[in-house]
Structure 1
Amino acid sequence: MGIIRAVPDLERVVGERPLPVMMKSIDHLDPHCLALLAHSPAAVLGYVDAGGRQRAELVGGAPGFAAAETRSRLRLPVPPSAAPGAGAALLVLVPGWRETLRINGTLAEDGLLVEEAFLHCGKAVIRSNLWGPASVPDDAVEEESVLGPAAAAFLAAAPFAVVTSRDGAGRADASPKGDPPGVARVIGPATVALADRPGNRRTDTFHNVVERPEAAVLAVVPGDARTLEITGKAVISTEAGLRESMTERNRTPKAVLKVEIETVRLARNSALRDSGLWDPARHVDPGDLPRSSRIWTDHVKLNETAGAAAKLVRAGANERLLRAGLDQDYRKNL
């Protein structure tokens, strides 16, 4: 079995992180971020609990639940189990919209101190059909150290998940994953696997896991007001048989994230229930939001990375070209 344990080995498999991709992030909340936050009724928060364990929880309940007090401070509901002062990350969902907003920083008692914000491409949402027809919800709950029957059934139906992790310095990330139902594959009573699909090419989760081998996974099923949280030790596998078993759309992943389960919690989530994420009548009209291509273009120009190469990237940022490339990428590179 091939396990990746070092960044050079990781980048030989999945590629290096391109400068133009990394320059799509900014270190504050700009007007585009504020517009998306105003329309978002829910987000997945990755945080560290009082016991030092990586966690993930869906928070929110109504549009505007996360409000910017300043351009570097976001007020939002913080789980009682969270440990303020540790790295935390937010994956912001806008109902009906394919892109997601990622905000990383340090957790405060009443919110998040913002250190990084960027727009994530819509491929995970598209692959998962997250805003499509809702399933018939169930009400079974479980809390175990292995996958029980209710959790396994929920996971088999879940097309969308968010993986939260931290690097060696404690910087946090929350990354979306999307596939047909079964986005997190059960490969044993205490192990799940998630494929590395085409995305924004930052590979944050993999870089984090190389440095700090732990993760939390939060899975959702459209139409269901429950969430499934899995926490545990994480590794990156290049095992051929596992990768080939996770082929989708004739594409075999280059690497797979394996999580050795320590805790499983399938529970009703009041924020998800109240948010109306699965109600088509509450989906946001894309015309009420800034264009994703405009956001990326503006964020590249706002990025303060130094050097001649970065200067060229900023000068070359062109929304029209980016929009054309994005449309083609969404059609051909899912």
Structure 2
Amino acid sequence: MEAICDLAELERVVGSRPLPVMMKSIDRLDQHCVTLLGRAPVAVLGYAGAGPRAAVVGGAPGFAVVENPDRLRLPMPSDAVPGTGAALLVLLPGWRETLRINGTVDDGGLAVEEAFLHCGKAVIRSNVWGPATASETDAAEDGEGLGPAAAAFLDTAPLAVITSRDGDGQADASPKGDPPGVIRQVGPKTVAIADRPGNRRTDTFHNVLERPHVAIMALAPGDDRALELTGTASISADPALRESMAERGRMPKAVLLVEVEHTRLAPSAALRDARLWDAERHVDPEELPKPAVIWTDHVKLNETAGVAAKLLRKAAGERMMRAAISVDYRQNLY
């Protein structure tokens, strides 16, 4: 395997982080975030327990309450360690974009440090809001490695959220989407996830270089179970592995490999209560802020210093952003 072990090699393979992309991030919750959180019934939370953990939280729209721009109140798992980094990937059923919020666990919530809208390509590729792909079994699993119930679930799951932390403990939760089987089992305890085009922040890869322990949450339409995998990740640019994970004739530039240490497959009360797979519960995109407007406003709110950042804030406009999104979603899914 051609392992990527340092930042220089990572940027040579997948590219560096573009300034315009990084400037779509803000350090607080604005009115757009408030609106989206008010309509969102669930989120995937990456946090630190005894080790890296991922959980589905929520169950009904408005489960996460914005107390002020720097503070989000939400149901936290009992084993979440106060003062440690945590990250939310907020899902709005029927909507292709996702909201990402990063911060620190405090009393009954999250001290917010970063918020940004993630592009919709992972959700588009996954078709997670489309017809059910789940099997009819309700098997559960909790133990070391990967058992048969987890392997069967992986075959039906088109959406995964990778949660990771950097060397300073700052957390991130990144969506990955593909046709069913987004997480591919390539060994008795090894899974692989292709790096498809996304928002180009490559947060997961940067974090894995500093702290390889990750937790992954997988979801399958029509299934109220959630699959959590925890383990140790590495980054591969192996040509044969990349070719085996090609879609629509395009190979990923890199693949995340995870040696699974623990598997938890169990019914999720949050998924059950949210009824994510009920089309009548899906949000109407016309009732939400336009993604191009959100990104434009966030670029203008971003406080990055420097001449280039100043020029980007001045040039940012909804019309230009909307046109760029249309081209990107059409041409760069794979």
If the length of structure 2 is used for normalisation, what is the TM-score? 0.98
Equivalent residue in structure 1 for 2:57, among 42, 56, 59: 59
Q: Which amino acid aligns with 1:15?
A: G
**1:17 paired residue number:** 17
**1:256 paired residue number:** 255
**1:118 paired residue number:** 116
Whether the 8 Å CA contact 1:137–1:223 is kept in 2: the answer is: no
* Alpha-carbon separation, structure 1, partners of 2:26 and 2:123: 23
* TM alignment of 1:67-106, pairs within 5 A: 67-106=65-104
SS class of match (1:202): coil
Q: Which amino acid aligns with 2:281?
A: R
* Alpha-carbon separation, structure 2, partners of 1:181 and 1:132: 12
TM-superposition CA deviations, 1:253-272 (whole Å, max 9, x none): 11000010110010000001
Q: Which amino acid aligns with 2:238?
A: E
**2:242 paired residue number:** 243
* Alpha-carbon separation, structure 2, partners of 1:239 and 1:98: 31
Residue 331 (structure 1) shift: 1.3
**1:306 paired residue number:** 305
**1:153 paired residue number:** 152
* Alpha-carbon separation, structure 1, partners of 2:66 and 2:247: 39
Q: Which amino acid aligns with 1:194?
A: I
Q: Which amino acid aligns with 1:204?
A: D
Residue 138 (structure 1) shift: 2.5
Deviant stretches of 4+, over 4 Å: none
Number of aligned residue pairs: give it. 332
Q: Which amino acid aligns with 1:108?
A: D
* Alpha-carbon separation, structure 2, partners of 1:8 and 1:312: 28
Whether the 8 Å CA contact 1:90–1:173 is kept in 2: the answer is: yes
TM-superposition CA deviations, 1:236-275 (whole Å, max 9, x none): 0111111110001111011000010110010000001001
Which blocks of at least 5 consecutive residues in structure 1 are unaligned? none
SS class of match (1:150): helix
Residue 160 (structure 1) shift: 0.3
**1:130 paired residue number:** 128
Whether the 8 Å CA contact 1:185–1:194 is kept in 2: the answer is: yes
**1:204 paired residue number:** 203
TM-superposition CA deviations, 1:250-303 (whole Å, max 9, x none): 110110000101100100000010011111001000111000000000000000
* Alpha-carbon separation, structure 1, partners of 2:264 and 2:88: 20
1:218 aligns with 2:217: yes
SS class of match (2:45): strand
* Alpha-carbon separation, structure 2, partners of 1:302 and 1:42: 26
**1:41 paired residue number:** 41
Which blocks of at least 5 consecutive residues in structure 2 are unaligned? none
If the length of structure 1 is used for normalisation, what is the TM-score? 0.98
* Alpha-carbon separation, structure 1, partners of 2:103 and 2:217: 19
* Alpha-carbon separation, structure 1, partners of 2:176 and 2:328: 17
* Alpha-carbon separation, structure 2, partners of 1:134 and 1:195: 23
* Alpha-carbon separation, structure 1, partners of 2:136 and 2:13: 39
Residue 319 (structure 1) shift: 0.9
* Alpha-carbon separation, structure 1, partners of 2:95 and 2:73: 23
**2:315 paired residue number:** 316
Whether the 8 Å CA contact 1:130–1:160 is kept in 2: the answer is: yes
TM-superposition CA deviations, 1:164-206 (whole Å, max 9, x none): 0000111100000000000001001111010000000000000
SS class of match (1:222): coil
Identity among equivalent pairs (%)? 67
* Alpha-carbon separation, structure 2, partners of 1:191 and 1:287: 41
**2:229 paired residue number:** 230
Q: Which amino acid aligns with 1:76?
A: L
Whether the 8 Å CA contact 1:217–1:231 is kept in 2: the answer is: yes
Whether the 8 Å CA contact 1:138–1:224 is kept in 2: the answer is: no
Residue 233 (structure 1) shift: 0.5
CA RMSD after TM alignment: 0.8
**2:191 paired residue number:** 192
* Alpha-carbon separation, structure 1, partners of 2:145 and 2:211: 22
* Alpha-carbon separation, structure 2, partners of 1:168 and 1:9: 18
SS class of match (2:81): coil
SS class of match (1:16): coil
Residue 137 (structure 1) shift: 4.0
